[in-house]
Structure formats: structure tokens, C-alpha cells
Amino acid sequence: AQKITQTQPGMFVQEKEAVTLDCTYDTSDQSYGLFWYKQPSSGEMIFLIYQGSYDEQNATEGRYSLNFQKARKSANLVISASQLGDSAMYFCAMREGQDEIGSQGNLIFGKGTKLSVKP
Amino acid sequence: DGGITQSPKYLFRKEGQNVTLSCEQNLNHDAMYWYRQDPGQGLRLIYYSQIVNDFQKGDIAEGYSVSREKKESFPLTVTSAQKNPTAFYLCASSMQARGTGELFFGEGSRLTVL
């Protein structure tokens, strides 16, 4: 079973509007972390936002916010006031066993969502 | 500036040849990782290393080898045993192997087998 599921292969949004990119995850760990990365066409992975499993408040970073619904195991990314430069691939990722000794530390990635911002 | 440097950015290889991708970081991070990305796919873990002189296989280690002789360096060798090596390879590092720290990525190396 996939650990990270991103059900939207592609999304379109009008410039200046908000958009939500979906992410659901599957883990039996109590402690885990959720991450979102942006990958422009250049290929580099850019970290956007982090949410810990014990964080009670949704994470926010500028125009990015993470809609964390723990019971539903969902961690959707909300981008407000979209800009043309937001056009890119977006990946949701998870680190399991966040605080455990022996944690691998690697991130498990979803297949991504390609966001296109229209002028 | 601190960061992760991958080289070469583009690499062409004939079938049957080994090739080594370089990854150097000056962030003083303990943990380093290699991921592979295929078109339309997410990233899959090849190898990771939490400390010098130690590394572990990831999900798709077959046909690859690594070394970690220095904290700053984590080169990846794509061997002739790798049946489908054409892909985009990303190296990453993090402060430690657990905790809230995000992974920092290099700009990637695109390998094409002719």
C-alpha cells in the first residue's frame, strides 16, 4: 500500500486565486512528520512547509498553509494568492518514527501534483 | 554559500559502463541520502547514511553502490548491474536522521544511458 497518496496528477488555478493540493498518508507510527516540497522545472527540490504529528495548530509559512486533519490522515497544502512562479510539481512527503532512535530519517514521497497557474 | 553540490548535472553513459555521481555538502549535516526520480513518479530512496563509514540500503539499492569516507561526501555509483539506470538522481542531507529537520537537496544529476 502506498504510504503517501496524491490523487491529483495535475491542477490548474487562476493567478491570484487559492488552490488546495491533496495529500493523504498511511502510517501506524504515533510520531511522524509531514513535509511539502516544490520542484520547478529546473529539478531542485525546495522545502515549503512542515507539520509534526503532535502539532495542534496547522502550520503556515507565508502563502503556504497545511490543512492537517489527523483523524482523516490528510495533510493538504493550501497556496493562497497563486503566482505564475508557483507553477511546478508539488510533492507531499512523510518521515515516520520522527523522534525514535534508529529512525532512518529519510522521507517517503508521493507521486506529486503538477500545478499550473494561468495568467 | 552553504549547500549541496551535485555533479555532473548531465551524464551520458553507454550500456555496461559504471558511472559515479558526486555529492558534496558543506552544511555539516550528519545524514545524507540518494533518491531516484523517474518521469511522473515521486522520489524513491536508493541509499542513506547517518554517519561516516556507515550506510544503509533504501528501497531500490540493487545495481547501486555508495561510500561515506568523509562527512561532506556521499558519492553514488551506478553499476552495469542496474537494469534501467536512465533517471534523475537527487542527493539530500539533513542535520540528523530523526527530528523535524527537512531534507536539503542538490540540483540533481540527469543520467541517460545510450
Distance CA B95, CA B103 (A): 8
**A70 inside 8 A of chain B by CB:** no
Distance CA A59, CA A61 (A): 7
Give the closest of B42, B92, B100 to A33, CB-based.
B100
Residues in chain A closer than 8 A to B96 (CB atoms): 105
Residues in chain A closer than 8 A to B100 (CB atoms): 33, 50, 52, 98
**A43 inside 8 A of chain B by CB:** yes
Closest Cα in chain B, distance from residue A37 (Å): 10
Pairing of strands A113-118, A10-14: parallel
Interface probe with B: pick from A51, A91, A106, most Cβ of B within 10 Å:
A106
Interface probe with A: pick from B6, B100, B110, B111, most Cβ of A within 10 Å:
B100
**From the centroid of its chain, how far is CA B4?**
11
Structure confidence at residue A31 (pLDDT): 87
| Inter-chain CB proximity B105 and A111 less than 8 Å | no
Nearest residue to A109 (alpha-carbon basis) of B64, B35, B107: B35
Question: What are the pLDDT tens digits along chain A (119 aa)?
Answer: 679 999 999 999 999 999 999 999 999 988 899 999 999 999 999 999 999 999 889 999 999 999 999 999 999 999 999 999 999 999 999 998 765 555 567 889 999 999 999 99
